[in-house]
Each structure stands twice: as structure tokens, then as C-alpha cells.
Amino acid sequence: MRSESTFNLPAEQTRPQIARNAGVQVLRSGGVVRGYTNWGTFRLPKPTTKHQARYTEGHHFIMRFDASGPVQTAVRRTLGLDPRMIRFSVVKLGDKLEEIKDVEGKVEWNKMRSISDSI
């Protein structure tokens, strides 16, 4: 199953390490990581409380991967228990490679960006 995970992390945390850990978990379970896309740091849609801390902005990145249902469940469980994660989501992109073949992924770890930089 082709999937995409969106991650929101606190801006000051070690983002590459969290992305690498999620990718390694997919790879060790027989899945394939298709790519990462780094969106940088933006304000969250609304203030969020997680692990007794309040966040107004977070670092966003996307990991595109192919994995079975149990592997996706394990990734969700791991990310949900990680205190560095603010929130995340996993979305099914399609069942066949032809449906997502043009999706590209690359990693460019930026410094700090605000939402006004993208407008």
C-alpha cells in the first residue's frame, strides 16, 4: 500500500533523526521509502498541547513510503509514543505504482522559515 506520512515536530528538535528513525522502521520491516519532502518550520493551524507543552509552530516534513498494513500500524504506534512528535498523519496514496509514479521526494533541511516566506 502506498502511503504518505505528515509529521509536525517542535521546531528545536533533531528533525533528521526522527525522519531517519521512521524510515529505518519501514525499511527493516520490508517496506520501501520513496522519498522525503521538507517543508520547514511553520505556524500550526491552531495551538496544540502535547505532553503538557503548548506549541504554536512546528517543523513539517513528509515521508512517502510503501509498506503493509501492520508496518504502518507499527510506525503509527512508534510515532505516537515519541515525545518529540506534536502530531502526524498517515494517508493512503494508492494501490499501484502508476498512481503515484510522479511523486518526488527530496530532503533539504532548512533553517527557520515563517509562513509569510511561502506566500
24-72 per-position pLDDT tens digit = 999 999 998 888 888 878 888 888 888 788 888 888 888 888 888 899 8
Range of the domain at 37: 2-107
Please provide the DSSP assignment of the chain as one string: -EEEEEEEE-TTS-HHHHHHHHHHHHHHTT-EEEEEEEEEEEEEEEEEEETTEEEEEEEEEEEEEE--HHHHHHHHHHHHH-TT-SEEEEEEEESSHHHHTT---B----S---GGGG-
Write the CATH number for 75: 3.30.70.60
- Whether residue 20 has pLDDT greater than 80: yes
Residue 20 lies in a domain: yes
**Band (92; pLDDT cuts 50, 70, 90):** confident
Residue 116 lies in a domain: no
State the pLDDT at residue 100: 67
How many domains, in total, are found in the chain? 1
